[in-house]
């Protein structure tokens, strides 16, 4: 029994303080058959449990009604059961009686003990990094946590150095329409669809942060983790770009996926794939993926020249595809429209062209980028709206006054006194759905503008204020696992499930306790217009997480860290 218990604990992570030993009582004997019971009082919230029952003699015909047998020892002395769904969630003060029965040989019925394990606790904790910079918030810790969130979102065959103990291999059957391998990439948010446009945008922004602020990742000890972080989706995009004019941009059906509440490791629904080609164009996602490849080329060109060369080749092909066959991807791939509908593609053509010019210095790419640049102030920035980002990048590359004027117009609108409303505690409030995402995105772009000499003190102070709002200036951290008062019930399927092999379904979405797994590093959507926030799992407007939410937030923190290292801003 002890070896079995230790083995299971090692697999799942240390949670020894969440298991207790109980004796079988109330034994009734019918000469060769017996019945006994285990009475379990609950002194902590339980979301899923396991019992390892060890009998003094072999027992056959074992039965009970509260769980399902998942393991039996070869000598029929040890039975491992896992809760049935209707009894898996228990609150403090509840009591559970597990009645067992079976047959035995010998003159007297068996005695038994049961090790009861709470599978709603995993006790995984990342390394506590010291705040060696002595800044108000620990930038090193924030960068570590955010990268861990991206590791949590990984799909496919996990690497040997996987740091998330409750994640396993998943979606190993993801394929293209002709059998192409489409495993890998990131799950989008709290669900398990792989959407190409947010994923590519996220990759570009994260890669940009590594390109510009490598010193921050090096100093924080996160450099190799960050290389691994961005290479995971880049490898997936290489698989997805199956021909020069063919790109897979989605794996999974949103409707079927959203009707399932459970672990990605347990998915059994069909996961169809959707692609772009000359007859089904998508300049937005093609150009965004080209941007990700170009940025990746710049990051890897000295670290792994062969890999970088491959990325640049795919970047060129995809950008040519985006130019030659223009269209909005959700006009063709209707399956994505309900989730990530694109409103246009000119911003991505400008963005992708600017990145290819940055990478190659070939004038044709700058000409294209400037042709598709959208002048004037930007509404904001998101996975679908790159106007602010491409404007700053074009200013960096050309120093033309027109781009400076566009940036200044944007931040005149975004700063206090402009057209963007603010919460009472100071968050620039563009939209209620993922409010922190928009504020963080614009904070990062403001920092990038300041890097180019534009209103350095003003833009940096404002950007820092938006990031600090998320990290705790209101008395609450919106970054899970950071600080003490952070969200415990994010709208995220995998982290809401107890440790395997306990079942997980919609009852885990509605259970009142915290998620069994702390979703370290995930930035939640954020507060309402009055700074109000409720930590509710079913509130996907304010409490969902997404890979695109973290991208510019993490990039902004890397910039703030770099500024501190350079002695430019504290």
Provide the strand spans (E) within 333-441.
Answer: none
- Whether residue 7 is predicted with pLDDT greater than 90 in this model: the reply is no
pLDDT score recorded for residue 15: 42
**Contact criterion met (CB below 8 Å) for 211 and 203:** no
Q: pLDDT digits over 143-191, tens only?
A: 999 999 999 999 999 999 999 999 999 999 999 999 999 999 999 999 9
From residue 115, give the alpha-carbon distance in Å to each of 53, 81, 456: 6, 10, 61
- Whether residue 5 is predicted with pLDDT greater than 70 in this model: the reply is no
- The Cα angle at residue 450 between residues 447 and 454, in degrees rounded to 5: 145
pLDDT score recorded for residue 3: 32
Query: By CB neighbour count within 10 A (0-12 exposed, 13-18 middle, 19+ buried), where does 105 fall?
Result: exposed
Average pLDDT of the residues in 212-228 = 98
pLDDT score recorded for residue 8: 33
Q: Using the structure block, give the residue that is written with the tokens 């496919």.
A: 156
Query: Which sequence spans correspond to the domains of the chain?
Result: 2-118, 139-565
Could you say which of 215, 535, 539, 564 is catalytic? 535
| SS3 call for 252 | coil
Architecture of domain 2-118: Sandwich (2.60)
Binned at pLDDT 50, 70 and 90, residue 384 comes out as very high
- 491 noted as active-site residue: yes
Binned at pLDDT 50, 70 and 90, residue 18 comes out as confident
Residue 3 or residue 355, greater confidence? 355
Is the bond leading into 470 cis (omega within 30 degrees of zero)?
no
Q: pLDDT digits over 55-101, tens only?
A: 999 999 999 999 999 999 999 999 999 999 999 999 999 999 999 99
What per-residue string of b and e applies to 59-97 under the rule 16 or more CB within 10 Å gives b?
A: beebebebbeeeeeeeebbbbbbbbeeeebbbeeeeebe
pTM above 0.85, yes or no: yes
Dihedral angle of Cα 80, 84, 85, 87, to the nearest 10 degrees: -100
- 83 noted as active-site residue: no
pLDDT score recorded for residue 520: 98
Tokens of 198: 């947010």
CA distance 568 to 570: 7
Could you say which of 15, 491, 517, 542 is catalytic? 491
Binned at pLDDT 50, 70 and 90, residue 16 comes out as very low
Binned at pLDDT 50, 70 and 90, residue 570 comes out as confident
Average pLDDT of the residues in 423-452 = 98
Say what percent of the chain tops pLDDT 90: 96
CA distance 395 to 401: 8
Helices 283-300 and 305-324: angle between axes, nearest 10 degrees: 160
Could you say which of 64, 83, 188, 544 is catalytic? 544
- 362 noted as active-site residue: no
Average pLDDT of the residues in 2-25 = 55
Fold topology of 139-565: Glycosyltransferase (1.50.10)
Average pLDDT of the residues in 377-402 = 98
Say what percent of the chain tops pLDDT 70: 97
Mean pLDDT of the chain: 95
Q: pLDDT digits over 393-413, tens only?
A: 999 999 999 999 999 999 999
């Amino acid at each position: 029994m002890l070896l079995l218990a230790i083995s299971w604990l090692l697999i799942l992570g240390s949670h020894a303080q969440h298991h207790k030993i109980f004796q079988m009582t109330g034994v009734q004997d019918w000469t060769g058959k017996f019945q006994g019971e285990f009475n379990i009082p609950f002194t902590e919230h339980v979301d899923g449990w396991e019992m390892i029952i060890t009998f003094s003699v072999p027992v056959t015909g074992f039965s009970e009604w509260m769980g399902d047998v998942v393991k039996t020892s070869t000598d029929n002395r040890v039975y491992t059961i896992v809760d049935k769904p209707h009894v898996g969630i228990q609150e403090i003060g509840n009591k559970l009686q597990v009645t067992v029965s079976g047959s035995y040989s010998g003159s007297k019925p068996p005695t038994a003990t049961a090790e009861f394990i709470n599978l709603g606790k995993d006790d995984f904790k990342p390394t506590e990094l010291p705040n060696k910079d002595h800044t108000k918030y620990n930038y090193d810790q924030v960068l570590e946590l955010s990268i861990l969130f991206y590791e949590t979102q990984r799909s496919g065959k996990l690497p040997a150095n996987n740091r998330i103990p409750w994640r396993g291999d998943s979606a190993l059957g993801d394929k293209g329409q002709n059998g192409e391998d489409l495993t890998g990439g990131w799950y989008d948010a709290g669900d398990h669809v792989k959407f190409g446009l947010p994923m590519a945008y996220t990759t570009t922004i994260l890669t940009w942060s590594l390109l510009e602020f490598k010193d921050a990742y090096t100093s924080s000890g996160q450099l190799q983790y960050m290389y691994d972080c961005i290479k995971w989706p880049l490898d997936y995009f290489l698989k997805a770009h199956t021909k020069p004019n063919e790109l897979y941009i989605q794996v999974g059906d949103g409707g079927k996926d959203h009707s399932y509440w459970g672990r990605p490791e347990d998915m059994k629904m069909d996961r169809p794939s959707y692609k772009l080609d000359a007859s089904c164009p998508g300049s937005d996602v093609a150009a965004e993926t080209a941007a990700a490849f170009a940025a990746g080329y710049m990051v890897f060109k000295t670290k792994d020249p062969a890999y970088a060369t491959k990325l640049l080749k795919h970047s060129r092909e995809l950008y040519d595809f985006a130019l030659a066959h223009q269209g909005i991807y959700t006009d063709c791939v209707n399956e994505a429209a309900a989730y990530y509908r694109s409103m246009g593609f000119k911003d991505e053509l400008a963005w992708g062209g600017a990145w290819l010019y940055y990478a190659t210095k070939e004038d044709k790419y700058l000409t294209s980028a400037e042709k598709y640049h959208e002048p004037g102030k930007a509404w904001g920035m998101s996975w679908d709206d790159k106007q602010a980002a491409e404007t700053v990048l074009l200013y960096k590359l050309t120093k033309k006054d027109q781009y400076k004027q566009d940036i200044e117009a944007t931040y005149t609108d975004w700063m206090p006194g402009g057209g963007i409303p603010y919460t009472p505690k100071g968050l620039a409030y563009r939209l209620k759905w993922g409010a922190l995402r928009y504020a963080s995105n614009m904070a990062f772009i403001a920092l990038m503008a300041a890097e180019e000499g534009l209103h350095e003190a003003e833009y940096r102070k404002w950007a820092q204020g938006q990031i600090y709002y998320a990290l705790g200036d209101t008395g609450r951290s919106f970054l899970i696992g950071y600080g003490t008062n952070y969200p415990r019930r994010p709208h995220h399927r995998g982290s809401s499930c107890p440790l395997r092999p306990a079942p997980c379904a919609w009852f885990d979405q509605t259970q009142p306790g915290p998620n069994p797994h702390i979703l370290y590093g995930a930035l939640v959507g954020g507060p309402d217009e009055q700074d109000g926030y409720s930590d509710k799992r079913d509130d996907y407007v304010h409490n969902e997480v997404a890979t695109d939410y973290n991208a510019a937030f993490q990039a902004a923190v890397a910039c703030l860290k770099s500024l501190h290292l350079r002695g430019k801003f504290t």
